[in-house]
Every structure is written in structure tokens, then in C-alpha cells.
Amino acid sequence: MRKTLTLIAALAAGSAVAQQAADAVQPEATTTGGFAAMSRQVAVALKAKDDGLPVTGQTWMVAAANPHAVQAGADVLAAGGTAADALVAVQAVLGLVEPQSSGLGGGAFLVWYDADSDALTTLGGRETAPLAATPTRFQDANGEPLKFYDAVVGGLSVGVPGTPALLATAQAKWGTGDWADLLQPAIALAQGGFDVSPRLAGLVAADADRLAQFETTASYFLPDGQPVQAGQRLTNVAYADTLLALAADPDAFYTGAIAQDIVDTVNAAVPSGGLLTTLDFSLYTTRERAAVCAPFQDHEVCGMGPPSSGALTVGQILGMLDHYDLAALGPADPQAWRLIGDASRLAFADRGRYMADSDFVPMPTKGLVDPAYLAERAKLLAGDDALPEVSPGNPEWDHAMIWADDESIELPSTSHISIVDSFGNVASMTTTIENGFGSRLMVRGFLLNNELTDFSFRTHSDGVPIANRLEPGKRPRSSMAPTIVMKDGAPVLAIGSPGGSRIIGYVAQAIIAHLAWGMDVQQAVAMPHAVNRFGAYDLEADTTAAELQGPLGEMGFDVGTRELNSGLHAIAIGDGLTGGADPRREGIALGD
Ligand code: GLY
């Protein structure tokens, strides 16, 4: 089957069409008005995004989900700071202006390219389950899984946050700036106030009933009982005070009154209190691990290993697709999307069975991205139609173990930060509090995560244990896929996205668009989405991607259209730097 979809074909053909693509894919409005007044640099970056053009630079660049946060990072980089320094400034501001997505109360994964040592590594700042947690925590008295929001809202879902530890560790290892100074932009903005963005205002209004359940949360997001409005000036003195405490002592989050306040708030939540203790906080550590890499188009696509499924699943998809000539097919050919869709289904089958926290369960980590295994799996894609059946494969194990398929639910929130500094260091960090507004519990000016609902609510299936079941001290499986693409040992692309388990499809598609189809990073992040996890093929509504519905349906895929709310932020490193920010969200790239 060879049907040409002219509009999608045109995506690869130049900026006029990139403009058309950018215009077509804005399920949530971009917000140029308030932000454009921040500075000329921000106004130029917003205009570039609206025009579908990448931002360019020679020395440094930062791309993230909110112009205030990007500006804070840009100021650090312009003053000679490293990407690790800028990361602290960006995350501290995001926790204020985009509080629904990430912050001190959540977790993050960082992929880091260190220019000095010419080495790639990863830092895991994933939340941990309390030591008192039991595997059946998310089941009712009959052993049935709780309804999702019954589990999310309140103290039951809150794990020990990892983002503060990750930031402190990364900055101590790779930063050169003064830790306290790096928090200053966020402190000033929290004290002086910031204008609520249209996106934040819209999300608060949509979630008002849940936010209203907890007094501290309600008084911040629903002052006088009404959702904060776009353009309303909001201060957060409690957040500024928390940052001041962290400025004085980076460990303060885990040792003293802050940890105690979180424990008290979580455990006292009504109707569902948690089981955290200050011991859980004092035991928290970040994990440094080797990156997981897979080959694609003469590049190595590298990212975060367990407990994230991100790099393994993106790597499996791309590693299988590398056996087919996607470049020759091009984005117009439905056969390209058949290959992408079925490679994704095969990868998600393995993800559901094998991927979890490898500190707790044996995992075939190497086997899952072994080239010989992926070559065998790729042979399954040789036909013309959708695979009628998709099941997990049998990757090589270091030691034997069999798991049942996972049943965790993930909804999209989260945020991604890409940074390149003037020394050549590269940071790619995805950061989250899980659901939008996390557990809805707020302490000292920041929201607490609901990351524990990323565990499987069931522990077994037909008597076989599920790898991603809840266990005390364990880290829930993630889909976050912060990525650095390497070519001949050098970094060429930093990229990542929010989007729950669709993160994997968003990141894989953007890498294909950039490397195989020659799109610049702005075109690649703006391109209409078509993502397949394990069930339906999701096409982005009201975009040219929806034109694939007929051809993919004829091939046997279960196809539907829906809003697909990625938040891709990418920096390409080559002859200079080019940055792209997803038009579906409020972010920008800034560079010099
Ligand atoms: N909670 C989103 C993720 O970690 O994938």
C-alpha cells in the first residue's frame, strides 16, 4: 500500500510548510502576549516558535516549558555557568510558574554529557515508596485495583521526592556556580510575583474540584474560592522560604523541618493518608548509572535506564526500525507509520512485561536493546499490514525470571529541559510530579507528587508476579525519556517530552523526523503526532496526522484521533546550536 499524504509529505519540505504544521497543532494555545513583554530575546524566541522556525546560537542554549524558567537558565549560561548550574535555576523557576508539572515535591531523570571527560552518564532522582508501603496499597478490601483518582488524590500516592537531591548532586558534580545564587531568580520571582499563564489558569479551572479538597492547595490556587486567572499576579512566599532554606543547606529538604512537614501533611491527609516517615527521607539517595543506548541511522540514541522504561522502549522502537529504510519511505508513506506503529507495539509489549526498578527485580536490561534481539524482533515487521497479535519477546537474561504483564496507568503531565553550555556539556532532564498537580497536597509552597500510582495496582496476574508491583523502598517504573543522541562519540541532539507513556512515542517520532526525514528541531517537535502504545493508534486530532486514519485502519490498526499534548524541547548540536520548543505548550528556546 502506497498512498501519498501530501500535507504530511510537505512537512519535510521547508519552513512555509513547517509554519502550516505549527499552525495545525496547537490543541492548547501558545501564549505570546504576557511573555513577549519579558525581554526582546524572549519576544524573538516566541516569534520564531510561532513562525515554525528554530532558535539559533553558537555558544549555549536552553529550551524548557516556560519563558521565565528559560530566561533564568539563559542568564546563568550567559554568565559562564554550566548546564548543571542552569538546570538548578530552570527547575527552581518551573516549580513556581509551572507547578502542576514538576517541582521540589517530585522526581526527575537527568542524562548528562560531560565535555571534560567526554563521557555520558545518568542521574536518577526517582521517588521511592515508603518503607511501610505494602504491595496491595492500591487495592480495595476485595483485592480490586482502586479507581485511579481515588489512588492519586491524597497521601496514599506520595513517594519521597527526588528532584531536590538530584539538583544538589548534579550541581555539586558538574556545576561551578554558587548554589544559593542559582536559586535566587526563583526566590525573587516567588516573592515579587509572576503572572499566571493561560495554561496554568486553564488547568487550575479544570481541576478546581480536586484542588479544593485540601485547604493549603485551595488557598493558593483558588483564592476566595475562585480559580486563579490568566494574567493574575501570584506570589508564593512559602516557596521562596523553602528555597531560602535550601540555599542555606542543600540537604535541608531531607533532614529537618521540611521533611517533617511533608510527612505530617501526607500522613494526615483525609480521606487517604500516607505512610511516610522521616527515615524514608534520610535514606533517600540519587542513583548514577550508565546510559542505555541503541543504534539508529548511524547514531547512538542514549537515555535513562531502569526504573525508567524510556530509553529501553525508545531504543527498542528505533533499533527495530533501523532495519527498514524509513528515510526512503518518508513521512508521507503510510507504510512508514505501519512500521513505527508496530515497532512501538512490540516495544510496549516488552515494556509491560520486563521493565521496572532493577534494584528490586531482575531485568534483562542489556538483552532488551541487544542488536541481535532487535534484529529478530524487526523481522516481525516485514509484512504490509498491522500485526494481528503482539506479544513480548524473549530477550537474553543475565539470570532467569518471568514476569506477568504490567497494569499501571499513566496520565500526561511532566516537563522537559534541554541545555547545552559554552563548555560543551549537555543536560537532558525530564522532571515530574506525575499527574497534573500531583497528589494535590501542597506543603511549603510546592505540590507533592503522586508518583506511586506509576506502580502496577495489581501485584500478580494468574499467580505470576508483576515486575512493576509496589514494594517498600522501590522506585516506580517511569516512561520519562530524557535523551542525548550521540554521533561518533559526540552529542548531536538533546531531547525529551512530557506525556505519560506517550512520551516514548513523542520522543521516538521527533528523533525519526530529525534524523531520518531531515526536519530541523522546530519542525520535528511541531510535527503532528501519531503514537501507538499497545492498543489504539492515536492520531493528533485537527492535524494532518488525522489523514492517516483511513490507510492505517485499512491495514488493520485500531485507529482514533485525540488531543496529543506533548511538550518536546530539543537542541541540535552541529555547526552551531538550533533549538526547538513544542508549540503545544508555553516553552521557548533561548541561545547565544
Ligand atoms: N509519571 C510519569 C512518568 O514517570 O513516566
Q: Is 353 annotated as a binding residue?
A: no
Please give the torsion angle defined by the CA atoms of residues 169, 174, 178 and 181, in that order, rounded to the nearest 10 degrees: -80
Using most ligand atoms within 8 A of CB, pick from 110, 348, 410 the residue to mutate for ligand 1: 410
**Residue whose CA is closest, atom 1 of ligand 1?**
434
pTM over 0.75: yes
Q: Which atom of ligand 1 is nearest to the CA of 310?
A: 5
Q: What is the number of other CB atoms lying within 10 angstroms of the CB of residue 359?
A: 15
Query: 52 CA to middle of ligand 1, Å?
Result: 28
Q: Note whether 140 and 212 are same-domain residues.
A: no
- The verdict on residue 2 lying in a domain is no
- The verdict on residue 299 lying in a domain is no
Query: 303 CA to middle of ligand 1, Å?
Result: 15
Q: Note whether 275 and 421 are same-domain residues.
A: yes
Residue 274 is inside which H or E element, if any?
Answer: none
Q: What is the pLDDT of residue 14?
A: 32
Q: Which atom of ligand 1 is nearest to the CA of 501?
A: 5
Q: Which atom of ligand 1 is nearest to the CA of 107?
A: 4
Q: Note whether 473 and 522 are same-domain residues.
A: yes
Using most ligand atoms within 8 A of CB, pick from 100, 453, 503 the residue to mutate for ligand 1: 503
Grid coordinates representing 527 are 510535527
Q: Which atom of ligand 1 is nearest to the CA of 480?
A: 5
Q: Is 351 annotated as a binding residue?
A: no
- The verdict on residue 96 lying in a domain is yes
For the chain, give the longest Cα–Cα distance: 64
Distances (CA, A) of 521 to 231, 338, 492, 526, 541: 30, 23, 11, 8, 22
Task: Give CA–CA dist 525/508, Å, rounded.
Answer: 11
Using most ligand atoms within 8 A of CB, pick from 480, 497, 504 the residue to mutate for ligand 1: 480
- The verdict on residue 338 lying in a domain is no
- Residues 488, 492, 496, 501, CA torsion sign: negative
Grid coordinates representing 419 are 541545555
- The verdict on residue 155 lying in a domain is yes
Q: What is the number of other CB atoms lying within 10 angstroms of the CB of residue 535?
A: 11
SS3 43: helix
Query: 450 CA to middle of ligand 1, Å?
Result: 10
Q: What is the number of other CB atoms lying within 10 angstroms of the CB of residue 388?
A: 7
Task: Give CA–CA dist 535/538, Å, rounded.
Answer: 9
Q: What is the DSSP string of 392-444?
A: ------SS----BPP--------EEEEEE-TTS-EEEEEEE-SSTTTTS-EET
Task: Give CA–CA dist 138/459, Å, rounded.
Answer: 10
Strand partners of residue 495: 483, 570
Q: pLDDT tens digits for the chain (592 residues)?
A: 333 333 343 333 333 323 333 333 332 334 444 798 899 999 999 999 999 999 999 999 999 999 999 999 999 999 999 999 999 999 999 999 999 999 999 999 999 999 999 999 999 999 999 999 998 999 999 999 999 999 999 999 999 999 999 999 999 999 999 999 999 999 999 999 999 999 999 999 999 999 999 999 999 999 999 999 999 999 999 999 999 999 999 999 999 999 999 999 999 999 889 999 999 999 999 999 999 999 999 999 999 999 999 999 999 999 999 999 999 999 999 999 999 999 999 999 999 899 999 999 999 999 999 999 999 999 999 999 999 999 999 898 765 455 666 655 545 579 999 999 999 999 999 999 999 999 999 999 999 999 999 999 998 888 888 889 999 999 999 999 999 999 999 999 999 999 999 999 999 999 999 999 999 999 999 999 999 998 899 999 999 999 999 999 999 999 999 999 999 999 999 999 999 999 999 999 999 9
Q: Is 500 annotated as a binding residue?
A: yes
Q: Which atom of ligand 1 is nearest to the CA of 454?
A: 1
Residue 188 maps to which CATH number?
3.60.20.40
Q: Note whether 460 and 448 are same-domain residues.
A: yes
- The verdict on residue 86 lying in a domain is yes
Q: What is the pLDDT of residue 323?
A: 98
Angle at the Cα of 205 from the Cα atoms of 204 and 207, rounded to 5 degrees: 65
Work out how many domains the chain is built from and give that number. Answer: 2
Query: 358 CA to middle of ligand 1, Å?
Result: 16
Q: Residue 216 belongs to what domain range? A: 198-232
Grid coordinates representing 501 are 507513556
Q: Note whether 225 and 282 are same-domain residues.
A: no
Q: Note whether 106 and 155 are same-domain residues.
A: yes
Asked if 75 and 419 touch (Cβ cutoff 8 Å), the reply is no
Per the annotation, the verdict on 255 as an active-site residue is no
Query: 432 CA to middle of ligand 1, Å?
Result: 7
Helix axes 310-321, 371-379, angle to 10 degrees: 60
Q: Note whether 224 and 107 are same-domain residues.
A: no
Phi, psi of 468 (to 5 degrees): -95, 30
Using most ligand atoms within 8 A of CB, pick from 434, 506, 507 the residue to mutate for ligand 1: 434
Task: Give CA–CA dist 136/156, Å, rounded.
Answer: 12
Distances (CA, A) of 445 to 224, 264, 585: 18, 15, 23
Task: Give CA–CA dist 412/584, Å, rounded.
Answer: 13
Q: Note whether 147 and 209 are same-domain residues.
A: no
Query: 327 CA to middle of ligand 1, Å?
Result: 31
Q: Note whether 437 and 552 are same-domain residues.
A: yes
Q: Which atom of ligand 1 is nearest to the CA of 435?
A: 1
Query: 480 CA to middle of ligand 1, Å?
Result: 6
Among the listed residues 414, 430, 453, 544, the single catalytic one is 414
Q: Which atom of ligand 1 is nearest to the CA of 476?
A: 4
Q: Note whether 212 and 266 are same-domain residues.
A: no
Find all residues with CB under 8 Å of 25, minimum gap 6, and list them: 526, 527, 528, 529, 540, 543, 583, 584
Q: Note whether 459 and 536 are same-domain residues.
A: yes
**Residue whose CA is closest, atom 3 of ligand 1?**
478
How deeply is 429 buried, as exposed, middle or buried, from its count of CB atoms within 10 A (0-12, 13-18, 19+)?
buried
Task: Give CA–CA dist 42/384, Å, rounded.
Answer: 47
- The verdict on residue 75 lying in a domain is yes
Phi, psi of 472 (to 5 degrees): -60, 130
Q: Is 454 annotated as a binding residue?
A: yes
Q: Note whether 105 and 203 are same-domain residues.
A: no
**Residue whose CA is closest, atom 4 of ligand 1?**
478
Asked if 428 and 90 touch (Cβ cutoff 8 Å), the reply is no
Task: Give CA–CA dist 537/438, Å, rounded.
Answer: 27
- The verdict on residue 498 lying in a domain is yes
Query: 40 CA to middle of ligand 1, Å?
Result: 35
Find all residues with CB under 8 Å of 455, minimum gap 6, and list them: 129, 138, 408, 468, 469, 470, 474, 476, 477
Residues with CB under 6 A from ligand 1: 410, 414, 432, 434, 451, 454, 478-480, 500
Q: Is 249 annotated as a binding residue?
A: no
Query: 481 CA to middle of ligand 1, Å?
Result: 9
What's 465-530 look like in SS3? EECCECCCCCCCCECCCCEEEEECCEEEEEEECCCHHHHHHHHHHHHHHHHCCCCCHHHHHHCCCE
Grid coordinates representing 466 are 508483576
Find all residues with CB under 8 Å of 278, minimum gap 6, and list them: 259, 260, 263
